[in-house]
Each structure stands twice: as structure tokens, then as C-alpha cells.
Amino acid sequence: MKINRIYQPRNPQFWLMVAFNVLSWVLGWITHTMSLNLVGSLLITGFAIGNAVMGAWLAWRLVNS
């Protein structure tokens, strides 16, 4: 398993992985910087975790392809 196989700019899965990871970072930043109520904070945190999981899954697919 080689980590350098993740970088595949011609593969659409690579760009989806990048988008998911950037969106996870943005959602995490929003959770930490803005004062949200419990429901809003849990909702945004759930989306951030979901995006991170999807990004990791796409990275795994890129490495193993």
C-alpha cells in the first residue's frame, strides 16, 4: 500500500476526496468558532464526521486501486 497513489489529479475520486476533506475542515472550524445551540452544533459535527469518513474511504479506494 503506497500513500503516493492517493495523488491522482485526473481521477474524479481524488477531487471528491479533496472536497470532502476541505468541507470537513470548514465545518469543524464553524463548530469551534461560532456559538451554536446544541442541535446546531451536533448537526454540523455530524456532517463534519460524515465528510471525514467519506474522504477517508475515497483515499482508501485511491490507494488500493
Domain boundaries, the chain: 11-64
pLDDT of residue 4: 77
Tens of each residue's pLDDT in the chain, 65 residues:
677 788 888 999 999 999 998 998 898 888 889 888 999 989 998 998 999 899 999 999 989 88
pLDDT of residue 32: 86
pLDDT of residue 1: 63
pLDDT of residue 10: 92
Q: How many alpha carbons lie under 13 Å from residue 6 in its C-beta half-sphere? A: 13
Q: How far is CA 6 from CA 12, 28, 40, 63, in A?
A: 12, 23, 33, 5
pLDDT of residue 24: 87
